[in-house]
Amino acid sequence: MASFSALTTNISLHFVPNLLPVYSFTSAPTKNPPPQQHHKLRIRRTPCASALAVASPGVSKPDLLVNSLLSKVLESDRGLFLSREEHKKVAEMAHELEIFCVDQPVNCPLIFGEWDVVYCSNPTSPGGFYRSTIGRLFFKTKEMIQVLEAPDIVRNKVGFSLLGFIDGEVSLKGKLKVVDEKWIEVVFTPPNVKIGGLELKYGGESEVKLQILYIDEKMRLGRGSRGSLFVFHRRHPSGLINQ
């Protein structure tokens, strides 16, 4: 939506704002992602039309599930405030929504746009150190955004407040590659950090993989290579351009 750190190179891997899942996830592993056979991203109209039909008012089951799932996670600080039972319920609803996923979701134009990262089953994974127990003492997360731009650009950004009064952000730019009809891979360039008037780059490239489980005008579900579930909420659903 497939995987921040101190402002030093040697520990940067823990800080990279991977809004897509990363290999340091601690959730239970699932089946390994398919072999990396990268393909050029090809957007087709047919799957998108199917997605619009699935999410239309005439089919209430997906709509109800989407609304119910979002109602649970939107005020949960990306899953941090949810109990174990509530996480389980989110996982159950996500599993139900998989049934309604379009064929070949990587080819659906609905994946493009601006998305808020509103949930992760391992809540401290996206954002790295900034979301850890210690990190939250100093950094208050203001927003986590993922932007997918056609044909193959991914931009991740975590906005935060340092000690409650210094604004900052960490951002990455990556290139999206299609692995198969459901899996994508993103290779990110080194992250860029802005804190107050300071701006710098640090660390090296990072790579993440993500399976697309469900997509419509409002919400996208993804699962990382080690099993973490992600929920993305579209920032401007009314601004969608007809495909």
CB atoms within 10 A of CB 198: 10
What is the C-alpha to C-alpha distance for residues 234 and 113, in angstroms, rounded to an integer? 7
* pLDDT (0 to 100) of residue 99: 95
* pLDDT (0 to 100) of residue 30: 42
CB atoms within 10 A of CB 222: 31
Q: Which residues of the chain have pLDDT under 70?
A: 1-60, 124-138, 238-243
* pLDDT (0 to 100) of residue 130: 59
Residue 177 corresponds to which tokens in the numbers above? 């590659």
**139 and 115 Cβ atoms separated by less than 8 Å:** no
* pLDDT (0 to 100) of residue 160: 86
CB atoms within 10 A of CB 41: 16
How many residues are there in the chain?
A: 243
Q: SS3 for 54? A: helix
Write the pLDDT tens digit of every residue in 173-229: 999 999 999 999 999 999 999 988 899 998 889 999 999 999 999 999 999 998 999
* pLDDT (0 to 100) of residue 47: 47
Q: What is the pTM of this model?
A: 0.74
